[in-house]
Amino acid sequence: MGIKQLAAGSYGIDGVYIQGAAAVAGPKEGRGPLGPYFDRVWASENPRGGSFEQAERELLRESQETVLQKTGMTWADIDLAVGGDLLDEIISTNFAAREHARPLAGLFSACAVFAEALAAGAAMVGGGGPRTVLVSAVSHNKAAERQYRYPIELGYQRTPTAAWTATAAGSVVLADRPAPLAIEAATFGRVIDFGLKDPNDLGSAMAPAAVDTIGRHLDALGCSVSDYDAIFTGDLGQLGVQLAVALLERGGRPPGNRLDDCGRSLYHLDSQDVHNGGSGPGCSASVFSGYLVGSLMSGRFRRLLLVATGALFSPTTYQQGESIPAIAHAVSVVHRGESS
Amino acid sequence: MGIKQLAAGSYGIDGVYIQGAAAVAGPKEGRGPLGPYFDRVWASENPRGGSFEQAERELLRESQETVLQKTGMTWADIDLAVGGDLLDEIISTNFAAREHARPLAGLFSACAVFAEALAAGAAMVGGGGPRTVLVSAVSHNKAAERQYRYPIELGYQRTPTAAWTATAAGSVVLADRPAPLAIEAATFGRVIDFGLKDPNDLGSAMAPAAVDTIGRHLDALGCSVSDYDAIFTGDLGQLGVQLAVALLERGGRPPGNRLDDCGRSLYHLDSQDVHNGGSGPGCSASVFSGYLVGSLMSGRFRRLLLVATGALFSPTTYQQGESIPAIAHAVSVVHRGESS
């Protein structure tokens, strides 16, 4: 077990394993192509009828309880909870932590927070600190919409470049106990700002950050895109992925069909009216905890790079005319097959 | 160098040292009793005339640049920046990171974020990851007021229990290179909610969280309050400290005069019209980086526990009738005198 700095912000990690993962999603996400990979799919966006914010934290709690059930653990086995969400003051994460009452390291990195939490959690377990960490992230479409955009009731038209904030949560338990999937490396992102200002085109704003992190990560590990079976960005969507591919090709790292995107994969883009694709912390969290962990376990991928992406603006910075800085954090997962 | 889990969320840390610290404060804070300990004091709350949010991130950047100057470092020497602030989407931390372009782990823990960042940064350096981490936090009175309360222009009356969000920033460089002050242990807080609902009395809401973390920290280390020369909570203010003392006494840990509070210390409570005392992430960040590090270096304190406190509500949760959950993170600093 150990952690070693390979370059600034990039760490090789030894002896940190995924004990289990769980994803819970809303009805629209359940009808998408990855629906079969979710542990639970809600029948409605707000089954208990409270506020959307309460629904978001319930979604988070359900993903946390589900991964504990799947791993045969209880909250008492968790040394530290690490995670975040998109709501102001990360209220979903904090209010859920009020219930479980385990030590909490709350993070904010917008839609990139799930990979940030995996990276921080794995670094601390690998360093010899906590033995068992629960990593999670969540978003809810209606709670995000009214914080960032307009009341749903307004019925405004969305632009073709706009993404659909996923109603979904993902949770992963990391620990030093050997298991088939290991977190072998992680890279914390830098804040990159190409000057874009359109909050309805966040995929384009985030693509340069994803490309920066992918490049730094590969350089630090001394490997190339072809060393990964798949590289999944967080929520660039179909337009952002095209931009990322172009930037990677220009940088001499053509990803070919290895590059895919959680947001592009979450919905049927031709029929579910999500335009650019899915977004929100719950997008990469649920796609990783459902589909990607499943694909690693089944052998479809043997080595995977998750590069969750986040746009770091707020309604205040937008109204003040600022551009939209972005960040991407990367986590490298490998199927070691060390145990069943 | 190393890190060892002593109990869930509590870590003994070996070989992580404070390379330097810097505090920058606004004019009101500069006129307070700790004014002489700040590296820079602004002549006005908004010397450049932009938005208050821009002033807040400028304050953060100045504290970061100042600690780099004091330690003879440049941004290229920083492997990872760790920190947060109180504004939605931690825009101060994220926009400042756009300028320095170093890898960033952004955190949110309301006014407790500085201790959370010290704990996470020290855990990662101690674990063998980053060698040099820059930890910082900031708040600006006017930016916080308009996010959480009312426009300043309204001229509303503040209640006697209300705190004054500090216009201040603090930055610390942690590294594995021996220096007089060592981070020897840290404890991540649990979210505690005693059901209080008054956003103008956050000291009372946060006191139980501070007491919980102090108790867990002392139990994990197998020591008592008398093993510390001083225990500084973050921003309980004069009323919250009284409550914390009462709770500690009831729990069999009477702190005597060892317990003090950054928020109670930052202003002249009798003449500066701050009512309960200072608050905000910049409160504990600047008091620690200025006064407390100075007191440890001068020998006034040999062993100190910083217990930064945070109220984890948002305007949305308040409007939805929720109570105010709170958290406190603790960091133990000792003067080892291993080098000059």
Q: By the CB < 8 Å criterion, does B319 face chain A?
A: no
Backbone φ and ψ for A166, nearest 5 degrees, come out as -70, 140
For residue B72, pLDDT beyond 60: yes
Q: Which of A20-34, A144-158, B85-99 has the lowest mean pLDDT?
A: A144-158
Cα–Cα distance between A193 and B97 in angstroms, integer?
10
pLDDT at A87 over 50: yes
pLDDT at B338 over 70: no
Mutate which: A60, A78, A89, A183, vs B, most B CBs within 10 A? A89
Q: Which residues of B touch A213 (CB under 8 A)?
A: none
Give the best residue of A1, A57, A94 to mutate against chain B (max B CB count within 10 A). Answer: A94
Check residue A201 and give its pLDDT.
95
Q: Average pLDDT for residues A36-60, to the nearest whole number?
A: 97
pLDDT in tens, B128-183: 999 999 999 999 999 998 898 777 777 778 898 999 999 999 999 999 999 999 99
* pLDDT tens-digit map of B101-132: 999 999 999 999 999 999 999 999 999 999 99
B111 interfaces chain A, CB cutoff of 8 Å? no
Nearest chain A Cα distance for residue B244, angstroms: 20
Side chain identity at residue A37, one-letter code:
Y
B243 shares contact with chain A (CB less than 8 Å): no
pLDDT at B241 over 80: yes
Contacts of A314 in chain B (CB under 8 A): 87-89, 91
B2 interaction partners in chain A (CB closer than 8 Å): 128
* Strand B40-41 with B17-25, pairing: parallel
Instruction: Specify the 3-state DSSP secondary structure of A326.
Output: strand
Percent of chain A with pLDDT over 70: 99
Which chain A residues contact residue B188 at CB under 8 A? 80, 103-105
Express each pLDDT in A140-163 by its tens digit.
Answer: 999 998 898 777 777 778 898 999
| Region class of B191: left (phi > 0), else alpha (psi between -120 and 50), else beta | beta
The arithmetic mean of pLDDT across residues B293-301, rounded, is 97
Give the residue-averaged pLDDT of B233-259.
97
| Contact yes or no for B218/B255 (Cβ under 8 A) | no
B267 touches B32 (CB < 8 A): yes
Answer whether B308's CB lies under 8 Å from B113's CB.
yes
Q: What is the pLDDT of residues A171-210, one digit of tens each?
A: 999 999 999 999 999 999 999 999 999 999 999 999 999 9
Angle CA A303–A35–A114, to nearest 5: 50
pLDDT of residue A84: 98
Among B84, B101, B127, the residue with its CB nearest the CB of A3 is B127
User: What chain A residue is nearest to B51 in terms of C-alpha separation?
Assistant: A320
pLDDT at A63: 98
Q: Which of B69, B103, B208, B50 is nearest to A115 (CA)?
A: B103
Q: Which residues of A touch B215 (CB under 8 A)?
A: none
pLDDT digits (tens, 9 = 90+) for B19-47: 999 999 999 999 999 999 999 999 999 99
Q: Kindly determine whether residue A190 and residue B103, on different chains, have CB atoms separated by under 8 Å.
A: yes
Contact assignment for B79 to A110 by CB distance below 8 Å: no
**Mean per-residue pLDDT over chain A, rounded:** 96
Can you state the angle between helices A202-221 and A237-250, rounded to 10 degrees? Answer: 40
User: Mean of the pLDDT values across residues B195-222?
Assistant: 97
- The reported pLDDT for the residue numbered B60 is 98
Distance from CA of A271 to the nearest CA of B (A): 32
Neighbours of A337 (CB within 10 A): 12
On chain B, the residues whose CB falls within 8 A of the CB of A147 are 316
Is it the case that residue B218 has pLDDT exceeding 60? yes
CA B163 – CA B145 distance, rounded (Å): 11
Q: Which residue of B has its CA nearest to A186?
A: B129
CA A69 → CA A20, A41, A229, A250, distances in Å? 9, 16, 30, 46
B90-A103-A296 Cα angle (round to 5): 80
Of B240, B205, B210, B209, the C-alpha closest to B225 is B210
State whether residue B80 sits within 8 Å of chain A by CB. Answer: yes
Nearest residue to A308 (alpha-carbon basis) of A335, A327, A323: A327
Residue B339: predicted pLDDT:
44
Q: Which of residues 247-306 of B touch A (CB under 8 A)?
A: none
Q: Does B77 touch chain A (CB under 8 A)?
A: no
The pLDDT score that the predictor gives to residue B340 is 40
What token pair was written down for A324? 């939209």
Distance (Å) of CA B334 to CA A15, A191, A303, B105 = 31, 34, 43, 25
Residues for chain B: how many in total? 340
Average pLDDT, chain B: 96
Q: What is the ipTM of this complex?
A: 0.97
CB spacing of A11 vs B131 below 8 angstroms: no
Q: Is B89's CB within 8 Å of A104's CB?
A: no
Instruction: Report the pLDDT averaged over residues A227-253.
Output: 98
% of chain B beyond a pLDDT of 70? 99
Q: How far is CA A252 from CA A188, A227, A249, B171, B314, in A?
A: 22, 15, 5, 38, 45
Does this model's pTM top 0.90? My answer is: yes
C-alpha span between B257 and B37 (Å, rounded):
22
